[in-house]
Amino acid sequence: MSNKIHDRKIISLLVENNSGVLARVCSLFCRRGFNIDSLTVSTTNDPTISRITLTVHNDEQVLNQIILQTARLVETKQVFVLDESNSLLQELLLLKVAADVSNRVELREIGAIYKAKIIDLSPDSMVFELTGKPSKIDAFLNMFEEYTILEMCRTGVTAMERGGMHQHMQKPAETVSQAQMDLLGMVIR
């Protein structure tokens, strides 16, 4: 869990829904030495387009470079940085905790406070499912520091802007790319 939440940037890419696109995007990040904190890929309402949502913790210069280089990929339709204050961010957590008769009630109470579902219960473990903002997932995990976590699986951030159709979805990709570069203080030559 990072203490640098304020440095986190969420980048959304709309790409052609073709095999190998994700590998090309990840390869670009790898070659440039960029570290991806989380990555999710999903279909969109257009079957020819997929959305890749990346979470990175980097400075503005690195972010600018990421945007420029991903925008240059042939398969990339649009690249934009989501404003966290105007976006919905969700993650999914599956958490398996050692549980027996001595701590099962405590674990259920923690789960109830965070509105986590118990999706599996065995004599020696309990599995919780929780969806929510990354900060909610972090807080939930902090509650289990005194317990034995057997396994954990956490998805990356899935994000979407609030409200109706946004400008980046209504305008041609070139216009959106230029607006993003202007926003980040860059000049495209």
Same domain, 17 and 66: yes
Count Cβ atoms within 10 A of the Cβ of residue 160 and give its class: 0-12 exposed, 13-18 middle, 19 or more buried: middle
How many domains does one find in the chain?
2
Q: Classify residue 189: in a domain, yes or no.
A: no
Identify whether residues 12 and 73 lie together within a single domain: yes
In terms of domains, do 107 and 56 share one? no
CATH code assigned at 15: 3.30.70.260
Spell out where the chain has E strands.
Answer: 8-16, 38-43, 49-57, 76-82, 87-98, 117-122, 125-132, 149-154, 158-161
Domain that holds residue 127: 89-154
**43 in a structural domain:** yes
Digit-coded pLDDT (tens) for 121-151: 999 999 999 999 999 999 999 999 999 999 9
pTM reported for the whole predicted model: 0.75
> Which of 7-16, 103-112, 146-155, 166-175 shows the lowest mean pLDDT across its residues?
166-175
Same domain assignment for residues 108 and 57: no
The answer on 57 and 24 residing in a single domain is: yes
Neighbouring C-alpha atoms within 13 Å toward the C-beta of 85: 1
- Hunting for tokens 């190998």 — which residue is that? 20
